[in-house]
Amino acid sequence: MGQSVEIDTKEAWGGGQSPFRVSYGKMMMWFFLISDALTFGGLLTAYGFARHKYADQWPKAEDVFTHFPFVEQHLPLAYVGLMTFILIMSSVTMVLAVEAGHRMDKRGVTVWMFWTIIGGATFVGSQAWEWYHFIHGTDVGSLRDVFDRETGTYVRQVVHGANMTVNEYGNYDVPQFANFFFFITGFHGTHVFSGVVINFIIFMNVLKGTYEKRGHYEMVEKVGLYWHFVDLVWVFVFTFFYLL
């Protein structure tokens, strides 16, 4: 952990040293994460823009996300709180796997990576469950003017759930609410899914002893960076979609 070797200045100017004192792979992972973070930053800024524009009409998150599995009660934000806990927890198990890797502790890496994969898969499943309820909607629904392509007019009708053109949430018609929800949580969910797949591949390599032979577990550290990034994005998505 940061035990960087002191480099003689004269030697350093001779080349063959990294001014960052990190390996090429780790540096490039960071550069990839910067670009990915810019994408998410742009998306969330656009979301903030749309939300500001429809500030009065925007649905309240605590009225929309009220379901909890196996419980019939009205529990606003409880499930997304649990999802957040699962993702933070899997971030901790990931960092513990990285730490075990620094000690060349194969058993430690195996155990903590296993729990990271379980946590990630649980999160993706939770998101699928939440999407299902978001799309399915309530029995009561809401009145909306829906565009009818055949007649070219708007028809007032009861809408249940959400799609890309209309949703039942809130007392006013704000399709952007569902659009941004689908796009940003979907984009994040895709990242979580790919993270689980990558973690699984690295987990198999750990089991095979690839990194034991290599003499370092930096691959675990690199996928760890990606996994923490996914958690980092969720922290912002959680705030902007559910809390504010």
Partner 1 sequence: MEFHDNYPEYEKMSNHDEAYGKKARRTLWNVFWIMLVITIVELIIGFMAPSKGWSGTLGLKVLFIGLTIVKAAAIVLWFMHLGHEVKFFKYVVLLPYAIFMLYTIFIVLTEGTYSGEKEHYTQTRQIPLEDQLAHKKAHGGGHHGGGESHGESSHEGDAHH
Q: Among residue numbers 176 through 215, which ones bind partner 1 (CB under 8 A)?
A: 215
- Check if the beta carbon of residue 241 is closer than 8 Å to that of residue 181: yes
Which is nearer to partner 1, 187 or 236 (by Cβ)? Answer: 236
Q: Which of 49, 71, 209, 210 binds partner 1 (CB under 8 A)?
A: 49
Smallest distance from partner 1 to CB 60, Å: 6
**51 interacts with partner 1 by CB under 8 A:** no
Q: At what angle do helices 106-136 and 186-208 cross, to 10 degrees?
A: 160
Smallest distance from partner 1 to CB 86, Å: 11
- Check if the beta carbon of residue 144 is closer than 8 Å to that of residue 166: yes
Smallest distance from partner 1 to CB 107, Å: 14
**235 interacts with partner 1 by CB under 8 A:** yes
Which of the stretches 124-132, 184-192, 193-201, 236-244 binds partner 1 when contact is defined by CB under 8 A? 236-244
**22 interacts with partner 1 by CB under 8 A:** yes
Smallest distance from partner 1 to CB 94, Å: 8
Which of the stretches 113-121, 179-187, 196-204, 227-235 binds partner 1 when contact is defined by CB under 8 A? 227-235
Which is nearer to partner 1, 88 or 198 (by Cβ)? Answer: 88
Residues numbered 99-158 forming contacts with partner 1, rule: CB under 8 A: 99-100, 102-104, 138-145, 154, 156, 158
Nearest-angstrom CA–CA distance, 209 and 207: 5
Which is nearer to partner 1, 53 or 208 (by Cβ)? Answer: 53
Which is nearer to partner 1, 117 or 220 (by Cβ)? Answer: 220
Which is it for the CA torsion 185, 115, 109, 84, positive or negative? positive
Q: Which of 6, 19, 107, 149 binds partner 1 (CB under 8 A)?
A: 19
Which of the stretches 36-44, 124-132, 186-194, 196-204 binds partner 1 when contact is defined by CB under 8 A? 36-44
3-class SS letters over the chain: CCCCCCCCHHHHHCCCCCCCCCCHHHHHHHHHHHHHHHHHHHHHHHHHHHHHHCCCCCCCHHHHCCCECCECCCCCCHHHHHHHHHHHHHHHHHHHHHHHHHCCCHHHHHHHHHHHHHHHHHHHHHHHHHHHHHHHCCCCCEEEEEEECCCCEEEEEEECCECCCCECCCCCCCHHHHHHHHHHHHHHHHHHHHHHHHHHHHHHHHHHCHHHHHCCCHHHHHHHHHHHHHHHHHHHHHHHHHHC
Q: Which of 136, 163, 172, 201 binds partner 1 (CB under 8 A)?
A: 172
Which is nearer to partner 1, 62 or 71 (by Cβ)? Answer: 62
